[in-house]
């Protein structure tokens, strides 16, 4: 792989909530692009919204990205430590840099202090809309020095607005969407510094992308409309903008923008529901990107080798939870049984199966059942009956065991198996088939009650291997108990 440290991407979350599916996909594409080109992947925390930013969100975002296995080269490691580069990757620790550049723009006449109150700004916006006008008046643009002094004397703290051109267009050459044109007369003068002295997102983002030498800004398409103003700021500061790539929107299965209404959308929810990070990464990679052969399964290193922005689609991508589960099952099946047990550890612990309770080794059970696992939480769920008292499903008790003649069958099996040797699947199968024949019963008339009595369920692992792994004491004990319960 080429090493090209000039390729620098970043993920720049605002820590105002969890890392959700959309943010995770943005992280992944930035990571893939950087890794693919031997570049640098930067993580920057955009915490300038003092009201909504929380440390808990920072931690959740870092945990999520770590869990996904997407390592970054520069950025925060936790709330205290950072790595790579020089200076902080928390925007709130970079305030002097933004203030210095606001000053530069003010001095160059490219920005002006704005004393309008929120009410005045809102009213200007409303009247602009009412007049069929396109852009609200910015009365402070043409404020006389005397008027400014008056405001200052009255103790009004100004915001700072950046002057957008009145005419012409700003053209974004987007690597995914192609050329997108914006009419300048529709763009209001952008607030770059709030009355609190802090920068707005659009401004801090430009200053940092430049300071951090970001070569490619890959982000969600909700930021496409911010891009023309950002490009104008680069220009005013005499800088070249990075390349932009805006990723298509993600829709839920019902065709509306993916949101909480569609169920779990935070990455940590997926972890807690038993998804494997490599499966989620694979799934997210295909949410808006594909190869010409529509290949579906890619391990992370294969994604790095195959990923390219030219494979990213403009059209919205639809999130399909069924496909994600299928993919997770594919990855789970590919793991060695010992690995399944170790990856399912938190779920096994929660079920009380660590340390392993008396009974068949978890690993052997995982080997037997691995075709059926879709999520890690299925591991304890599907194996619980080996370690816990049998709980009969409605079907098992009401339909299978309640059928006429079943009690006799169970007692016959007790007699057959009580001293049966060797207690191995092949021998058991032969003996039980012989039992069916000797009683003139169809296999199903014996196999179904047998399974229901020892497991409480009507489906599960292959019957005879299951019996072997349970061992004689458990099998015979459970057959006896079921027969007794039948009365
Ligand atoms: N902080 C912005 C967000 O979380 C980042 C936008 C960008 O990538 O430029 O949406």
Determine the average pLDDT of the residues in 57-78.
Answer: 98
| pLDDT score for 79 | 96
Tell me: the pLDDT tens digits for 301-327? Answer: 999 999 999 999 999 999 999 999 999
Supply the mean pLDDT for the chain.
95
Check pocket membership of 223 for ligand 1, CB cut-off 6 A: yes
Tell me: the pLDDT tens digits for 14-50? Answer: 999 999 999 999 999 999 999 999 999 999 999 999 9
For residue 11, which atom of ligand 1 is closest to its CA? 8
What are the structure tokens assigned to 144, written together? 């006389």
- In this structure, what CATH number is given to the domain that contains residue 483? 1.10.10.350
pLDDT-derived band at 265 (thresholds 50, 70, 90) equals confident
Is position 328 within any domain? Answer: no
Cα 2 to middle of ligand 1, angstroms: 28
Cα 306 to middle of ligand 1, angstroms: 26
Question: Residue 151 contacts by C-beta under 8 Å, 6 or more apart in sequence?
Answer: 115, 143, 158
| pLDDT score for 133 | 66
Is position 339 within any domain? Answer: no
Tell me: the pLDDT tens digits for 215-238? Answer: 999 999 999 999 999 999 999 999
**What percentage of residues in the chain have a pLDDT greater than 90?**
91
- Other Cβ atoms less than 10 A from the Cβ of 135: the count is 17
Total of domains in the chain: 3
Is position 332 within any domain? Answer: no
The domain of 128 spans 94-247
* Helices 472-486 and 443-455: angle between axes, nearest 10 degrees: 100
Is position 374 within any domain? Answer: no
- In this structure, what CATH number is given to the domain that contains residue 74? 3.40.50.620
Check pocket membership of 205 for ligand 1, CB cut-off 6 A: yes
Catalytic residues, which ones? 260
Question: CB–CB of 475/467 below 8 Å?
Answer: yes
**Closest Cα to atom 6 of ligand 1:** 12
Tell me: the pLDDT tens digits for 445-457? Answer: 999 999 999 999 9
Is position 66 within any domain? Answer: yes
240 and 108 in one domain? yes
Question: Phi, psi (5° rounding) for residue 313?
Answer: -95, 155
268 and 160 in one domain? no
Cα 13 to middle of ligand 1, angstroms: 5
Check pocket membership of 369 for ligand 1, CB cut-off 6 A: no
Question: CB–CB of 289/88 below 8 Å?
Answer: no
**Closest Cα to atom 5 of ligand 1:** 12
What's the whole-model pTM score? 0.93
**What percentage of residues in the chain have a pLDDT greater than 70?**
99
First and final CA of the chain: distance in angstroms? 71
């Amino acid at each position: 792989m080429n090493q090209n440290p000039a390729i620098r991407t970043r993920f720049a979350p605002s820590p105002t909530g969890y890392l959700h599916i959309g943010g995770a996909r943005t992280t992944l594409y930035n990571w893939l692009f950087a890794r693919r080109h031997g570049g640098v992947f930067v993580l920057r925390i955009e915490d300038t919204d003092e009201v909504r930013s929380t440390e808990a969100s920072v931690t959740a975002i870092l945990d999520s990205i770590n869990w996904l296995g997407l390592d970054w080269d520069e950025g925060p490691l936790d709330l205290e430590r950072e790595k790579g580069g020089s200076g902080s990757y928390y925007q709130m620790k970079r305030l002097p840099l933004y203030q210095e550049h606001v000053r530069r723009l003010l001095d160059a006449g490219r920005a002006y202090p704005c004393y309008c109150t929120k009410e005045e700004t809102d009213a200007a916006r409303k009247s602009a809309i009412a007049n069929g006008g396109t852009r609200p008046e910015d009365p402070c643009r043409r404020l006389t020095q005397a008027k400014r002094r008056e405001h200052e004397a009255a103790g009004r703290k100004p915001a700072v607005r950046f002057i957008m051109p009145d005419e012409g267009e700003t053209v974004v050459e987007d690597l995914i969407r192609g050329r997108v044109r914006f009419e300048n007369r529709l763009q209001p003068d952008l607030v770059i510094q709030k009355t609190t002295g802090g920068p707005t997102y659009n401004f801090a983002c430009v200053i940092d992308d430049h300071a951090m030498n970001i070569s490619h800004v890959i982000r969600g398409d909700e930021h496409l409309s911010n891009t023309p103003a950002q490009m104008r700021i680069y220009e005013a500061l005499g800088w070249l903008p990075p390349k932009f790539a805006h990723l298509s929107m993600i829709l839920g299965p019902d065709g509306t923008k993916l949101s909480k209404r569609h169920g779990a959308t935070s990455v940590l929810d997926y972890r807690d529901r038993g998804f494997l990070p490599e499966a989620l990464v694979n799934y997210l990679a295909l949410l808006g990107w594909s190869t010409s052969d529509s290949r579906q399964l890619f391990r992370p290193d294969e994604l790095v080798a195959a990923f390219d922005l030219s494979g990213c689609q403009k059209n919205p991508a639809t999130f399909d939870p069924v496909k994600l589960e299928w993919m997770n099952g594919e990855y789970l099946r590919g793991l060695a049984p010992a690995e399944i047990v170790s990856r399912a550890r938190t779920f096994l612990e929660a079920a009380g199966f660590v340390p392993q309770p008396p009974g068949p080794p978890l690993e052997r059970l995982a080997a037997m059942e691995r075709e059926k696992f879709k999520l890690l939480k299925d591991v304890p769920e599907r194996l619980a009956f080996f370690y816990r008292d049998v709980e009969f499903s409605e079907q098992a008790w009401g339909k299978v065991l309640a059928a006429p003649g079943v009690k006799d069958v169970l007692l016959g099996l007790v007699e057959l198996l009580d001293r049966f040797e060797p207690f191995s699947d092949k021998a058991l199968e032969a003996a039980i088939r012989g039992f069916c024949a000797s009683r003139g019963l169809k296999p199903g008339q014996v196999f179904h009650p047998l399974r229901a009595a020892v497991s409480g369920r009507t489906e599960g692992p292959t019957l005879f291997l299951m019996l072997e792994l349970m061992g004689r004491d458990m099998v015979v004990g459970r057959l006896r108990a079921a027969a007794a319960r039948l009365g």
